[in-house]
Amino acid sequence: MSLPASVFGDWVRIETEYLQACGLPLWLHALPHEGGLVLLDSGTSITPETSVRGRLADAGHRIEDVSLVVNSHAHPDHMGGNAALAAVSDAVFAAPAAEAAWLEDNDRVITELWEANPDAYRLSAEERAEIAGLYGERVRIDRLLRDGDVLDGSFGRLEVVTTSGHSPGHIAVRDLDRGLLFTFDDVQGAGVPISGSAEWLAPLYHDVDRYRSGLRRLLDLDFAALVPSHGDPLDPAAGRARIQESLDFVDRATDFVHDHLTRHEVVGVRDLAIAIGRDLGPFGGPNLQTVSLARAHLDDLARRGLAGARWHLTPDPTQKDS
């Protein structure tokens, strides 16, 4: 069953430049109302001027009238455009309370997210600069969102559902009047193909239990359409199947990591990330996703008493090999 366009009501779907720039489709959504426009996520630093302004104009609206921006989580493709929007509008910014520190400090989010496992993965100076460029300038968050909060106004009622999972404070947004469930990046299936590449972006999560319980909450909700950021909207049956596929991936990754530990006496996060990127999916070498998966599943096994950490000295990186 395909979705009728009418399921979106007044929502304007904004296709962005992210597919050309970074190899993934990225959709933002704007809801016009008496007092302006609600915008769900802001894209990267360039998205407001590159994609949002023109698409809104085509639909008869002005970017200057954006009155409320809701950020789903503190990744650059979802809140990097905040400063560009603040520069041209009087928008109020709302975002998950649990990620406010990341939303307001680029250095902090880049270090704590990409370099959380420095023994396994570090950014080069160029990679760090590229990510900082996507983040743009930071904007203070005006309204901190918590689970169950309802944003209401002439646009209707938007309910906040904290899923955690894909990022520690990740939220979904339910349009209670139209039955839409915006899941942003939380329902990841077995990953997302990267356009123009043989590789897929692996699912990203940091806490196995939290990711699972967030997905199970979404599975319990009624919706007319499930709307992800990096793919097409799904009808209820396809949406539930996709959530189930996401849960199944977690089970597969759990078994994979456990099996890997039974076959190797000692496992490092980096080596496990490499194995995940090669054998669990075409996910590439050590990267944010594979390293986070490795760490999340080692932590999960450790919490269940099935694995334990061992520390040892590595070669001194300040000493050049002769």
Q: Which residues of 149-160 are buried (b: 16+ CB within 10 A; e: fewer)?
A: bebeeebbebbb
Pick the closer one to Zn ion by CB: 127 or 279: 127
Tell me the residue length of the chain.
322
| Under 8 Å between Cβ of 15 and 31 | no
Q: Please state, in angstroms and rounded to a whole number, the distance separating the CA atoms of residues 264 and 206.
A: 23
186 binds Zn ion (CB under 5 A): no
CB of 185 to Zn ion, least distance (A): 4
Query: Mask of contacts with Zn ion, 260-299, x by CB under 5 A?
Result: ----------------------------------------
- Among the residue ranges 49-57, 76-84, 98-106, 233-241, the one whose residues contact Zn ion (CB under 5 A): 76-84
Question: Could you say which of 41, 77, 159, 300 contacts Zn ion (CB under 5 A)?
Answer: 77
| Under 8 Å between Cβ of 296 and 275 | no
According to DSSP, the β-strands at 143-145 and 92-96 are parallel
Pick the closer one to Zn ion by CB: 36 or 203: 203
CB of 201 to Zn ion, least distance (A): 9
Q: Please state, in angstroms and rounded to a whole number, the distance separating the CA atoms of residues 25 and 22.
A: 8
DSSP secondary structure letter of residue 92: E
CA-nearest of 58, 50, 63, 59 to 19 is 50
CB of 133 to Zn ion, least distance (A): 16
Site size with Zn ion, rule: CB under 5 A: 2
DSSP secondary structure letter of residue 319: S
CB of 237 to Zn ion, least distance (A): 24
CB of 18 to Zn ion, least distance (A): 8
Pick the closer one to Zn ion by CB: 185 or 207: 185
| Under 8 Å between Cβ of 162 and 141 | no
Pick the closer one to Zn ion by CB: 23 or 156: 23
Q: What's the CA angle centered on 280, arms 276 and 282, to 5 degrees?
A: 90
CB of 210 to Zn ion, least distance (A): 18
CB of 230 to Zn ion, least distance (A): 6
- Among the residue ranges 53-61, 135-143, 170-178, 185-193, the one whose residues contact Zn ion (CB under 5 A): 185-193
Pick the closer one to Zn ion by CB: 159 or 185: 185
Q: Please state, in angstroms and rounded to a whole number, the distance separating the CA atoms of residues 276 and 289.
A: 10
Tokens of 274: 């490499």
Question: Could you say which of 175, 185, 207, 300 contacts Zn ion (CB under 5 A)?
Answer: 185
CB count, 10 Å around CB of 5?
A: 9
Pick the closer one to Zn ion by CB: 61 or 78: 78
Pick the closer one to Zn ion by CB: 36 or 80: 80
Question: For binding to Zn ion (CB under 5 A), which residues are involved?
Answer: 77, 185
